[in-house]
Amino acid sequence: MVLPVDVVVMAAGKGTRMKSAKPKVLHRLGGRALAQHVIDTAAGLSARSVVVITGHGAEQVEAGLHAPAGAATQLKYVRQEPQLGTGHAVQQAVPVLPDDGVTLVLSGDVPLTRPETLQALL
């Protein structure tokens, strides 16, 4: 039996090491935001939903990301306010996640994880 897959993308951090006012996950690589690469990879896994956790620069991040064209993957946003760490961030996504599948938690600033790697993990 194959369980449905949902993906949580961590995109709430400040990215202070970037030395930029722009949220870290919106910095571009290959013409796309870092987090957009992660969302597109999730869609390539046929994830039924992607939940992006925002915090720092939430409005910018939410406006700068989108569901891949033609994908059946539903894109949702939840906010982590206040920001109390990674575990707390994941807790913010729990109310919008179905309880009948598998959830992958991915970092929005790690754009080069290959779909084959995630498929092997699943």
Question: Catalytic residue numbers?
Answer: 17
- Number of Cβ within 10 Å of residue 45's Cβ equals 18
- Number of Cβ within 10 Å of residue 83's Cβ equals 16
The closest of 22, 31, 77 to 54, measured between CA atoms, is: 77
**DSSP-based three-state secondary structure for 108:** coil
Task: Tell me the H-state helices in 1-121.
Answer: 34-44, 58-64, 86-93, 115-121
